[in-house]
Amino acid sequence: MAYECFADEIAIDFPSAGRVVERMRDAFLGESTSHDLFEAELPLSPRDAFDGRVMPLVIPIRGACPCCGGRGESWAEPCLRCAGSGEALFHHTVSVAVPPGVSDGATFRFRVTSPHTGSVRVNIRIAIQPSLV
């Protein structure tokens, strides 16, 4: 595959471009990687499941380090903030609208994309917690 030919050059010279190449590969070839997947369980009370609810969810997204611009270094010294990786972790909060009458084990799938970071596929599983009454 063409991406594998340039993997070393991308990783060493342009670490922030690696995510772009992965997204292009995903878009054009239908391939995806597992590190762009965030899975979470959303606990709900039986009442919240019956009524429906909007709940906040914090999603970690990797992007280019703001200190070194994704290069991993500054003046030939490794970037201290990203430890030379060129990537930083950002936290993006989304509101998940759970519809009324949702059942235990239901799943929601969506993608979160930010202009300054990469994109993350999100899989959420509903877990209805038993009442403590």
pLDDT in tens, 57-81: 998 888 888 888 778 887 778 888 8
Query: What's the pTM value of the predicted model, to 2 decimals?
Result: 0.62
Within a domain: residue 21? Answer: no
pLDDT of residue 25: 65
Within a domain: residue 133? Answer: no
Within a domain: residue 6? Answer: no
| Helices and strands (H, E) in the chain, number of each type | 4, 7
Inform me whether the pLDDT recorded for 5 exceeds 60: no
Dihedral pair phi/psi, residue 112, rounded to 5°: -110, 125
- What range does the domain containing 53 cover? 36-128
Task: Please state, in angstroms and rounded to a whole number, the distance separating the CA atoms of residues 82 and 72.
Answer: 7
CATH number assigned to the domain comprising residue 68 = 2.60.260.20
Torsion angle (degrees, nearest 10) of CA 72, 18, 61, 31: -160
Distances (CA, A) of 18 to 2, 15, 87: 13, 6, 10
Q: How many domains does the chain have?
A: 1
pLDDT of residue 124: 94
